[in-house]
């Protein structure tokens, strides 16, 4: 068993870990950028953009991530849009993350008391100046901790990509276990440690951000 475990490790720590980290990082980028774009649309007064953003957020938050991933990977090709497994995982995780990120941004913006904008308006500042100098700087701080939670959720959910055949941590473990059933416990324990090793620094970073912003 020991020899088989040692033999399995390089694949897990190499390509498997790299795939999980890469997919997660790309999805985080989409969640962050998309979350801010859609979250800002949600608080705009333009009714069309507002409604479009609302539909997106409610739709994406109301469906299971795994089904979304299956749809991007296996459903879209039948509609003529061929997407490989890795980009499919990134797109599904990113779209899902952006919807949750949008709610974080909207919540943070709405949490700033109306008196802040009023005080800015009473001083003669314009709407954009109020947003840029008064509301956004305060709201940004309030997005840090929830975005860090979202990022750890993205890392955890990236394991769903195993089910569309992406050779990330979990799928690498599964293939090795199929060859040698005695590896269940050691390889799964290793996988758990790897996920923890990615997420714990994110959690530490979050605590550090919160301390420095308070």
Binding footprint of another protein on the chain (CB under 8 A): 113, 115-116, 118-126, 129, 133-134, 137-138, 141
DSSP label at residue 95: H
* Closer Cβ to another protein, 127 or 179, answer by number: 127
Q: What HEC string does 135-157 produce? A: HHHHHHHHHHHHHHHHHHHHHHH
Of the pair 134, 162, the CB lying nearest another protein is at: 134
Cβ 127 to another protein shortest distance, Å: 9
Residue (137 or 201) nearer to another protein, CB: 137
**Within 13 Å of residue 44, how many CA atoms lie on the same side as its CB?**
17
Which has the closest alpha carbon to 16: 188, 205, 149? 188
CB of 188 to another protein, least distance (A): 46
List Cβ neighbours of 7 (8 Å cut-off, separation of 6 or more). Answer: none
Residue 210 CB, shortest distance to another protein, in Å, is 15
Residues 161 and 90: their CA atoms lie apart, in Å, by: 9
* Distance of closest approach, residue 81 Cβ to another protein, in angstroms: 45
Q: Which is nearer to another protein, 55 or 119 (CB)?
A: 119
Phi, psi dihedral angles at 19 (to 5 degrees)? -65, -45
DSSP 1: -
User: CB of 199: closest distance to another protein in angstroms?
Assistant: 30
User: Cβ closer to another protein: 63 or 123?
Assistant: 123
């Amino acid at each position: 068993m020991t020899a088989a475990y040692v033999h399995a490790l390089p694949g897990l720590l190499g390509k498997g870990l790299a795939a999980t980290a890469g997919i997660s990082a790309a999805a985080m980028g989409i969640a962050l950028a998309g979350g801010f774009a859609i979250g800002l649309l949600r608080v705009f007064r333009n009714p069309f953009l507002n409604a479009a953003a609302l539909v997106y957020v409610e739709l994406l938050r109301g469906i299971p991530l795994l089904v979304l991933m299956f749809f991007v990977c296996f459903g879209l090709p039948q509609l003529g849009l061929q997407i490989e497994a890795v980009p499919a995982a990134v797109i599904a995780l990113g779209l899902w993350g952006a919807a949750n990120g949008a709610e974080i941004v909207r919540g943070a913006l709405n949490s700033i008391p109306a008196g802040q904008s009023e005080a800015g308006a009473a001083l003669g500042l314009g709407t954009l100046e109020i947003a840029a100098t008064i509301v956004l700087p305060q709201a940004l701080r309030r997005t840090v901790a929830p975005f860090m939670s979202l990022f750890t959720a993205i890392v955890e959910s990236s394991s769903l990509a195993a089910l569309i055949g992406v050779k990330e941590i979990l799928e690498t473990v599964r293939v090795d276990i199929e060859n040698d059933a005695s590896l269940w416990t050691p390889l799964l324990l290793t996988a758990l440690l790897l996920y923890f090793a990615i997420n714990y620094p994110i959690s530490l970073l979050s605590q550090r951000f919160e301390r420095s912003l308070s």
